[in-house]
């Protein structure tokens, strides 16, 4: 009886001691500040919010994970979709906190503005959005798709099904300019013609001229590199055009995008139905993440935390070494990050907009990044090159 | 002639970096690998395989003529000068090797891609220009031949008609006017020679 009582007391003491150790473990988690640089307002707020949501969810999950030895502390700044504020706010994060890693930026314009600050401070940017390629900065980890993971496979899918003549649209900054430049080459390689190329300033919603030109030139597809509210206005007007003329229905002449995700479908509504987009993730039902932006930002924090939990002071050189040796298990699936270009190997999924979600049209797993399109092969992309009349 | 922009095909290209072991070489190698090129570092000599290289990056600070298996200005591939010291003598030397592009040292996170594209375009333009100049020189050297051919063809007709006939012959033989003139002169000389031999 006494022995049993003693046993119970020992058990109780042991349990309390273990609980104490766990609590102590949580308290002893190393605190690491990380920057969050996403706009909370402005014309591309929906995308920005999706990225921020992914980063914040990952931070919360890592902090709640008792087996993780680190606690991530977000240091947040809001550039309000003003490209000129990203660099100064990134500088502010580095100056006022111990953060050396920043998850942030949506537009390439803002990323390029931020790079000099990162280089000066020895910081790293985790970039969770698709971009136009032709960049490989060792202070940036590119966690979303580059052209061989979005535009090239999307065009390879569209050309044999709809035709090679395209109309190119873009918001008036580097994403639209560079994406359309690559698209011009792809269309030429496919034996098609660029029937028009038009740009709108970011936030512009008057699309009547674009619609009139598309109506007049009758392309086989429209490559949409407009962003935010311009894109929503265009898709709404294009739906009206399709109602007048079936030649502009999604089945005959789709609008194809490399950056359109579920996060924007509520703003687009019925206008998006049937059109195509490409990305590394489309939300299944039920979905862990609402969009590839959210999933990619989540994966960014996961990979960063994985390395920082072992080496809290890791900078670009240390990350590069880890990238050369390790694959990461993320919510995007298992991914590798190319140590030279710091771009992620990703799935390439083409999706068609259905009722508030994307139905998967095709999927290819583990596509290695080729940000400079150095391995691009027209014959492989579009089949046998078409013969052209040489005069 | 306007050049249609193209997706630059650099995958699998080989670049030789002629520079002593240095962080500059690492920075260039990192960028070249990210772009998709294979890099070979060497110093102080370029190996024989360099003749098959697609690009050569060379140190303008410590470089010298004997490092290259070709005469200054006759590199068979685009050349990129790596310039640290902007001493006029060193720049002059880099220019004597017809550097098609340049990169300033220390090399950071960017610059290699634009250097590759600029070097390749400059090199191609230089090659095309050299070939055009050589062809024009040949044509200028054949002026005398054309005069003699027109003279031979103008028996009984004016120079204008004779020149038109020469051009028409060149077109039907599908050769240049100069080549046609050479043939006519040769034929005329042959006939003349035959005549002389007949006379003899």
Q: How many angstroms separate the CA of residue A60 from the nearest CA in chain B?
A: 33
**Higher per-residue confidence, A253 vs B161:** A253
Tell which wins on pLDDT, A391 or A113: A113
**CA A136, CA B109: separation in Å to the nearest integer?**
8
Per-residue pLDDT at A25 exceeds 60: no
Residues of A whose CB is below 8 A from B110: 135, 137
Q: Over the stretch A320-345, which tens digit does the pLDDT of each residue have?
A: 999 999 999 888 888 999 999 999 99
Average pLDDT taken over every residue of chain B: 89
Instruction: Flag whether residue A182 sits within 8 Å of chain B, measured between CB atoms.
Output: yes
- How many residue pairs from chains A and B have C-beta atoms closer than 8 A? 53
Query: CB distance from B34 to chain A under 8 Å?
Result: yes
Work out whether strand B79-83 and strand A358-367 pair parallel, antiparallel, or are unpaired.
unpaired
Q: Is residue A52 within 8 Å of A298, Cβ to Cβ? A: no
CB A110, CB A42: distance < 8 Å = no
The larger pLDDT score, comparing residue A29 to residue A230, is at A230
Residues 6+ apart with CB under 8 A from A202: A43, A44, A171, A172, A173, A227, A228, A230
Question: What are the two backbone dihedrals, phi and then psi, of residue A76, each rounded to the nearest 5 degrees?
Answer: -105, 140
User: Could B113 and A372 be called an inter-chain contact, meaning their C-beta atoms sit closer than 8 Å?
Assistant: yes
Query: CA dihedral in degrees (B179, B184, B187, B192; nearest 10)?
Result: -140
Q: Which residue out of A183, A373, A377 would a mutagenesis test of the B interface target, given it has the greatest number of B Cβ atoms within 10 Å?
A: A373
pLDDT confidence of residue A340: 92
**Terminal-residue alpha carbon distance, chain B:** 57
Element (H, E) at A177: helix A174-189
**So where are chain B's domains?**
14-136, 142-199
Exposure of A314 in the CB half-sphere (CA atoms within 13 A) = 16
Contact B19, B101 (CB under 8 A): no
CA atoms in the 13 A half-sphere facing the CB of A373 = 25
What lies within 8 Å, CB to CB, of B124 at 6+ separation is none
CA angle (B26, B31, B37) in 5-degree steps: 105
Residue A37 has pLDDT above 70, yes or no: yes
pLDDT of amino acid A45: 87
- Judge whether residue A22 has pLDDT over 60: no
CATH level 3 topology of A26-145+286-347: Rossmann fold (3.40.50)
Q: Coil, strand, or helix at residue A338?
A: coil
Is the Cβ–Cβ distance between B94 and B54 less than 8 Å?
no
How much is the CA Rg of chain B, to the nearest whole Å? 26
Give every CB contact of residue B101 below 8 A, 6+ residues apart in sequence.
B78, B79, B80, B81, B114, B115, B116, B118, B119, B122
CA atoms within 13 A on the CB side of B117: 12
Q: Which fold has domain B14-136?
A: Rossmann fold (3.40.50)
Half-sphere exposure for B81 (CA within 13 Å, toward CB):
23
pLDDT of residue B122 exceeding 80 = yes
Domains A26-145+286-347 and A148-282+348-375 share a fold: yes
CA distance A330 to A181: 33
Q: Which residue of A has its CA nearest to B10?
A: A374
Check whether A18 has a pLDDT greater than 80.
no
Of B4, B10, B109, the CB nearest to A374: B10
Using the predicted structure, report yes or no on whether residue B2 has a pLDDT greater than 50: no
Lowest mean per-residue pLDDT among A189-203, A289-303, A365-379, B137-151: B137-151
Percent of residues in chain A assigned helix, strand, coil, to nearest 5? 45, 20, 35
User: In the predicted model, what is the mean pLDDT of residues B106-119?
Assistant: 93
Determine, for residues A371 and B108 on separate chains, whether the beta-carbon distance falls below 8 Å: no
Q: What is the mean pLDDT of residues A245-249?
A: 97
CA distance B106 to chain A (A): 14
Does the CB of B39 have a partner CB in chain A at under 8 Å?
no
Do A137 and B10 count as a contact with CB atoms less than 8 A apart?
Answer: no
pLDDT at A13: 63
Tell me the HSE value of B148 on the side-chain side, using a 13 A CA sphere.
Answer: 17
Mean per-residue pLDDT for A356-372?
94
B30, exposed or middle or buried, with CB in 10 Å at 0-12, 13-18, 19+?
Answer: buried
Tell me which residue in A137, A184, A371 faces B109 most closely, judged by beta carbons.
A137
Nearest beta carbon to residue B36 from set A182, A342, A374: A374
A29-43, A185-199, B3-17, B96-110: the lowest-pLDDT one: B3-17
C-beta of residue A283 within 8 angstroms of C-beta of residue A291? yes
pLDDT band for position A4 (cuts 50, 70, 90): low
**CB < 8 Å to B6, chain A:** 185
Given a cut of 60, whether residue B162 has pLDDT beyond it is yes
pLDDT for position A114: 96
Predicted TM-score (pTM) of this structure: 0.82
Instruction: Supply the pLDDT for residue A29.
Output: 85
Domains of chain A by residue range: 26-145+286-347, 148-282+348-375
User: Do the chains contact at A374 and B35, CB–CB below 8 Å?
Assistant: yes
Sign, CA dihedral A205-A211-A217-A222, equals: positive
| A68 touching chain B per CB within 8 A | no
Percent share of chain A, pLDDT over 90: 81
CA angle A296, A297, A298 (to 5 degrees): 90
CATH number of A148-282+348-375: 3.40.50.2300
Rg (CA), chain A: 24
């Amino acid at each position: 009886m006494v022995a049993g009582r003693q046993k119970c007391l020992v058990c109780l003491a042991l349990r309390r001691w273990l609980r104490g150790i766990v609590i102590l473990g949580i308290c002893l988690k190393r605190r690491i500040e990380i920057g969050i640089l996403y706009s909370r307002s402005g014309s591309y707020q929906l995308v920005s919010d999706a990225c921020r949501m992914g980063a914040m969810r990952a931070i919360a999950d890592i902090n709640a994970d008792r087996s993780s030895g680190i606690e991530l502390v977000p240091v947040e700044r809001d550039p309000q979709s003003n490209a000129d504020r990203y660099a100064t706010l990134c500088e502010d994060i580095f100056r006022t906190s111990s953060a050396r890693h920043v998850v942030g930026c949506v537009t390439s314009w803002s990323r390029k503005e931020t790079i000099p600050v990162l280089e000066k401070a020895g910081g790293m940017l985790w970039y969770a959005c698709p971009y136009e390629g032709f960049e490989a900065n060792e202070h940036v980890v590119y966690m979303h798709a580059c052209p061989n993971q979005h535009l090239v496979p999307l065009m390879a899918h569209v050309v044999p099904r709809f035709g090679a003549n395209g109309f190119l649209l873009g918001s008036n900054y580097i994403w639209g300019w560079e994406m359309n430049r690559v698209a011009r080459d792809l269309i030429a390689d496919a034996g098609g013609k660029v029937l028009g190329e038009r740009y709108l300033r970011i936030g512009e919603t008057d699309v009547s001229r674009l619609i009139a030109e598309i109506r007049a030139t009758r392309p086989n597809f429209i490559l949409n590199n407009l962003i935010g509210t311009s894109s929503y206005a265009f898709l709404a007007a294009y739906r009206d055009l399709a109602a007048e003329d079936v030649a502009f229905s999604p089945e005959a002449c789709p609008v194809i995008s490399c950056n359109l995700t579920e996060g924007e479908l509520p703003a687009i509504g019925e206008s998006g139905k049937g059109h195509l987009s490409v990305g590394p993730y489309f939300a299944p039902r039920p979905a862990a993440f609402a969009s590839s932006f959210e999933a990619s930002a989540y994966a960014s924090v996961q990979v960063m935390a994985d390395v920082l939990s072992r080496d809290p002071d890791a900078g670009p050189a240390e990350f590069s070494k880890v990238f050369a040796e390790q694959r990461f298990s993320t919510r995007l699936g298992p991914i590798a990050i190319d140590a030279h270009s710091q771009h992620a190997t990703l799935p390439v999924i083409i999706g068609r907009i259905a009722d508030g979600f994307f139905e998967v049209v095709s999927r290819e797993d583990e596509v290695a990044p080729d940000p400079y399109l150095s391995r691009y092969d027209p014959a492989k992309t579009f089949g046998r090159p078409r013969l052209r009349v040489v005069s | 002639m306007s050049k249609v922009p193209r997706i630059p095909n650099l995958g699998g290209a080989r670049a030789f970096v002629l520079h002593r072991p240095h962080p500059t070489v690492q920075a260039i190698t990192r960028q070249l690998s990210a772009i998709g090129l294979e890099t070979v570092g060497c110093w102080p000599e370029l190996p024989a395989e360099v003749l098959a290289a697609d690009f050569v990056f060379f140190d303008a600070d410590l470089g010298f003529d004997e490092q290259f298996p070709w005469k200054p200005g006759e590199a068979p591939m685009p050349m990129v000068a790596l310039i640290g010291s902007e001493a006029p003598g060193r720049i002059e030397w880099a220019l004597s090797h017809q550097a098609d592009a340049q990169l300033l040292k220390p090399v950071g996170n960017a610059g290699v891609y634009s250097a590759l594209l600029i070097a390749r375009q400059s090199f191609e333009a230089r090659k095309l220009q050299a070939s055009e100049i050589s062809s024009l020189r040949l044509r200028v050297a054949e002026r005398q031949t054309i005069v003699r051919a027109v003279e031979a063809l103008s028996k009984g007709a004016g120079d204008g008609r004779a020149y038109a006939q020469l051009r028409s012959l060149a077109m039907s033989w599908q050769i240049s006017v100069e080549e046609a003139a050479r043939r006519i002169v040769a034929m005329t000389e042959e006939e003349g020679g035959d005549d002389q031999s007949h006379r003899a």
